[in-house]
């Protein structure tokens, strides 16, 4: 248990460090005055002032971090030269500072995907049925080994990852329309109603009754291709997940916070280093994606205000922007409390 907690803290710390390092490096390059580079939130555990005059600190709670810059919204320190306030830097520099954290998270993910594919091989899951389990929905419908799934609910499927994502969404009348291409080239459509399975903890899942076989590719070129396609798919999946949350096709209970991640890290660690690295990839993309959403308090929310400034030709009132970010932060904390509560309840049920 202690090892799992330490591994989780290390992973979170790495992702946050990489994210904040992006903001930090671009802010320094843009000659913005930086007060503090902090890893973690809450009370300070360790701190040291560097020769550059910046305070470097480690804080108690490993759930965030920040780079405190002068003038993030308006001029707020009379001791600092006007040109060193972030709000007084050229528009393009402010934009680069804001998106630098997300960019670093995405770059980390792509590099790790490349490393995984290069050293452990790239697993490719084509949507081709390897086995249809007898007396289960897909086999009963007449689907057999060798059949290729080319669409589900009229959404094109080019890999099994995307198929699983579509199948995780609620469907009308609990029926899923499969477009199947048989080995003879003939295409047919099937309405499949999955079986519902309930585990000991009361968690429900849908069973369709097919197996997909993974194929592994190796080599430098394959690793590059895998890194690009897998990164693009994870981004696409997150777009679909956000859409599913807003439309109700995906329940809020499917989300996990730091407590839920503890269980995931524990299970992943048993599967090997490559699985842990892939978890880091997923979480890094997740952190970057969430941060770039146009929501107040996120980097994406601040980018929105920059875009408004560009369109209207003048800055948004600093007080108005601060109110938006404060409200956004409060809503974010409420959501985190809700998700954490759900995570704790799952642990008790387990």
Of the candidate ranges 48-57, 199-208, 263-272, 276-285, the one whose mean pLDDT is the lowest: 199-208
Give the Cβ contact number of residue 137 at 10 Å.
21
The answer on pLDDT for 348 being more than 70 is no
Token pair recorded at residue 255? 């989300």
Q: What is the pLDDT of residue 318?
A: 83
Question: Considering just the CA atoms, what is the radius of gyration of the chain in Å?
Answer: 24
Cα 189 versus chain centre, distance: 33
The answer on pLDDT for 349 being more than 60 is no
Token pair recorded at residue 139? 């086999």
Q: What is the pLDDT of residue 309?
A: 92
The answer on pLDDT for 215 being more than 80 is yes
The answer on pLDDT for 326 being more than 70 is yes
- When pLDDT is averaged across residues 236-254 and rounded to a whole number, the result is 74
- When pLDDT is averaged across residues 212-217 and rounded to a whole number, the result is 86
Of the candidate ranges 218-222, 227-231, 330-334, 340-344, the one whose mean pLDDT is the lowest: 340-344
Q: What is the pLDDT of residue 337?
A: 77
Label residue 4 by pLDDT band (50, 70, 90). confident
- When pLDDT is averaged across residues 109-132 and rounded to a whole number, the result is 93
The answer on pLDDT for 345 being more than 60 is yes
The answer on pLDDT for 261 being more than 70 is no
Q: Phi and psi dihedrals of 24, rounded to 5?
A: -60, -50
Residue 214 or 303, more confident: 303
Q: What is the pLDDT of residues 15-26, one digit of tens each?
A: 999 999 999 999
The answer on pLDDT for 166 being more than 90 is no
| Mean pLDDT of all residues belonging to the chain | 87
Instruction: Give Cα separations from 172 to 153, 175, 190, 227 (angstroms).
Output: 10, 6, 15, 34
Q: What is the pLDDT of residues 169-188, one digit of tens each?
A: 888 788 999 999 999 999 99
Cα 205 versus chain centre, distance: 23
Residue 248 or 285, more confident: 285
Sequence-ordered list of residues with C-beta below 8 angstroms from that of 30, at least 6 positions apart, any chain: 86, 89, 93, 96, 97
- When pLDDT is averaged across residues 109-131 and rounded to a whole number, the result is 93
Cα 220 versus chain centre, distance: 26
Residue 76 or 142, more confident: 142
- When pLDDT is averaged across residues 69-85 and rounded to a whole number, the result is 86
Reply yes or no on whether 20 is catalytic: yes
**Catalytic member of 20, 83, 188, 267:** 20
Residue 308 or 198, more confident: 308
Q: What is the pLDDT of residue 107?
A: 97
Q: What is the pLDDT of residue 254?
A: 60
Q: What is the pLDDT of residue 332?
A: 81
- When pLDDT is averaged across residues 321-343 and rounded to a whole number, the result is 80
Token pair recorded at residue 328? 């956004």
Q: What is the pLDDT of residue 35?
A: 95
Is the C-alpha dihedral spanning 72, 73, 78, 83 positive or negative?
Answer: positive
Residue 56 or 347, more confident: 56
The answer on pLDDT for 190 being more than 80 is yes
Q: What is the pLDDT of residue 203?
A: 65
What is the share, in percent, of the chain residues with pLDDT greater than 90? 53
* Three state DSSP letters for the chain: CHHHHHHHHHHHHHHHHHHHHHHHHHHHHCCCCEEEEEEEEEEEEEEEECCCCCEEEEEEEEEEEEEEECCCCCCCCCCCCHHHCHHHCCHHHHHHHHHHHHHHHHHHHHHHHHHHHHHHCEEECCCEEEEECCCCHHHHHCCCCCCEEEEECCEECCCHHHHHHHHHCCCHHHCEEEEEECCCCCEEEEEECCEEEECCCCCEEEECCEEECCEEECCHHHHHHHHHHHHHHHHHHHHHHHHHHHHCCCCHHHCCCHHHHHHHHHHHHCCCHHHHHHHHHHHHHHHHHHHHCCCCCCHHHHHHHHHHHHHHCCCCCHHHHHHHHHHHHHHHHHHHHHHHHHHHHHHHHC
């Amino acid at each position: 248990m202690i090892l799992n907690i330490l591994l989780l803290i290390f992973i979170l710390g790495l992702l946050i460090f990489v994210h904040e390092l992006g903001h930090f490096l671009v802010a320094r390059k843009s000659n913005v005055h930086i007060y503090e580079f902090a890893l973690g939130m809450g009370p300070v555990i360790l701190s040291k002032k560097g020769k550059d005059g910046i305070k470097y600190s480690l804080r108690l709670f490993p759930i965030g971090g920040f780079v405190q810059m002068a003038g993030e919204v308006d001029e707020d320190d009379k001791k600092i030269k006007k040109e060193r306030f972030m709000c007084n830097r050229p528009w393009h520099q402010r934009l680069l500072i804001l998106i630098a954290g997300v960019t670093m998270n995405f770059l980390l993910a792509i590099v790790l995907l490349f490393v995984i594919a290069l050293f452990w091989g790239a697993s490719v899951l084509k949507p081709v049925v390897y086995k249809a389990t007898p007396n289960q929905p897909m086999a009963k419908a007449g689907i057999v080994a060798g059949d290729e799934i080319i669409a589900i609910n009229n959404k094109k499927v080019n890999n099994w990852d995307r198929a699983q994502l579509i199948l995780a969404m609620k469907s009308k009348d609990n029926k899923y329309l499969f477009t199947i291409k048989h080995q003879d080239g003939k295409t047919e459509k099937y309405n499949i109603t999955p079986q519902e399975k309930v585990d000991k903890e009361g968690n429900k899942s849908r069973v369709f009754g097919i197996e997909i076989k993974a194929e592994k590719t190796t080599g430098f070129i394959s690793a590059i291709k895998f890194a690009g396609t897998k990164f693009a798919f994870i981004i696409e999946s997150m777009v679909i997940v956000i859409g599913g949350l807003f439309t109700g096709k995906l329940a809020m209970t499917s989300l996990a916070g730091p407590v839920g991640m503890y269980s995931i890290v524990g299970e992943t660690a048993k599967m090997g280093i490559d699985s842990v690295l892939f978890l880091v990839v997923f979480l890094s993309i997740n952190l970057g994606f969430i941060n770039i959403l146009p929501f107040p308090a996120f980097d994406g929310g601040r980018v929105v205000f920059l875009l408004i400034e560009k369109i209207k030709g003048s800055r948004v009132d600093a007080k108005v922007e601060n109110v938006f970010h404060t409200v956004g932060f409060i809503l974010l904390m409420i959501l985190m409390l809700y998700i954490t509560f759900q995570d704790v309840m799952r642990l008790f049920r387990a």
